[in-house]
Amino acid sequence: MGSVMALARLDIHRRNRGERTLVTLAGDIGPATTPLLRAALEQCLLDGVTVIDIDLTMVGSCDARGLDVFLSASRRAGRVPASLLLHHPCAQITHLLAATGSASLLLGVPVSPRAPAELGDLTCTGTLAPEDPARRPDQPVLRDGIRLRRLTRWQAEDVREDIAELAAESVAGTPGKAYHDRGDFLRRLAVSAHRPGFALLVAETTVLVGCAFGFPVGPDSSGRRGFDRTLQEIIQRLTSRARFVVLTQVVAHPHAQHRDIARRLQRRLLTDLHSCLGVALLHPANQTGQAAFSSWGWQNLGEVVGLPGPVAPCVLILLMEDGPRQTADQAEGR
């Protein structure tokens, strides 16, 4: 069950899982939005929720009134009894919690604000399609009618949990499962969604069967510094191309048409972002992911040193020699 409410600059998305619920906030928490936030949390308690997880990944700021809403809801939850936990606060909220001594009451575990982009936030996962899969009764039939659709940042927020479920299903029972974590996937999505030019595509029939997202990088990219600058210089040295698209996730349903879905998503994403070069970073021990990308036509350039982080990632590239152009999916509006 899910519902979406919006007022001013704060969106609230609620997703129930039994007696536990995930409340995802996107925007800013201030005088105009605290009444909506208060009402949403009160409704959770009225509905008998025993654990309220609040995801603050997409919240840019919170004032003292907003903090008071969280504290009041936490106190009311304690009388039920229930609990309210904040997750992934930004630096401003972390400092507010520390200054008021509220961190121990509201944070489930000690949380530090994350850097805007870390190597782990940009590392892909991939899975090989089964050669002759045995279709389960609930598995979608994908022969025809696959539609590619681009989502806005806010639409992506609405379906983030569904995409995370698909990502988990795509690696279930495979060696690649070791390199996929639901929290890591959602963090990659949140970090990528803040990048200029971010694009997310989904493939769907009557259900979601695939997704790919990423962002463009080039010498004129806004905020070009640190990781972005180093990566841009490395890719330009390796390929002689200064512009490319970083694909931070490619997911396709484990089905016989897995490769076709993944390839269509990747090519369409590059076309939409006006680039002929795709770049993906994978953990060097993720052999399943590397094999999947190779099956999709990617070239593995091996481990590349120089990027920040404890592990030198494998860099893979996908070059569309014919360059970006309008695809049949775009021409037909699919």
- Kindly report the average pLDDT of the chain as a whole number: 77
pLDDT digits (tens, 9 = 90+) for 226-268: 677 888 888 999 999 989 999 887 777 665 566 788 888 999 9
**Overall size of the chain counted in residues:** 334
DSSP assignment string, 21-77:
EEEEEEEEESTTTHHHHHHHHHHHHHTT-SEEEEEEEEEEEE-HHHHHHHHHHHHHH
Among 277, 272, 262, which Cα is nearest to 217's?
Answer: 277
At 259, phi and psi to the nearest 5?
-65, -40
Q: If you ran DSSP here, which 8-state letter would residue 243 be given? A: -
Q: Looking up tokens 């879905």, which residue turns up?
A: 261
What average pLDDT score do residues 26-39 get? Answer: 90
What's the confidence (pLDDT) of residue 269? 93
Q: How confident is the model at residue 180 (pLDDT cuts 50, 70, 90)?
A: low
| Percentage of residues in the chain having pLDDT higher than 70 | 74
Distance CA 254, CA 190 (A): 24
Is the per-residue pLDDT at 135 higher than 50? no
Centre a 10 Å sphere on the Cβ of residue 136 and count the other Cβ atoms it contains: 7
- For the chain, the first-to-last Cα distance in angstroms comes to 28
Q: How confident is the model at residue 72 (pLDDT cuts 50, 70, 90)?
A: very high
- ω into residue 81 within 30 of 0, thus cis? yes
What burial letters (b/e) apply to 235-257, b meaning 16+ CB within 10 Å?
A: bbeebebebbbbbbbbbbbbbeb
| Poorest-pLDDT segment among 38-47, 120-129, 146-155, 237-246 | 120-129
What average pLDDT score do residues 173-197 get? Answer: 70
pLDDT digits (tens, 9 = 90+) for 299-323: 999 888 877 777 788 899 999 875 5
What are the residues whose beta carbons fall under 8 Å from the beta carbon of 186, sequence distance 6 or more? 55, 57, 160, 164
pTM comes to 0.58
Distance CA 72, CA 18 (A): 23
What's the confidence (pLDDT) of residue 230? 84
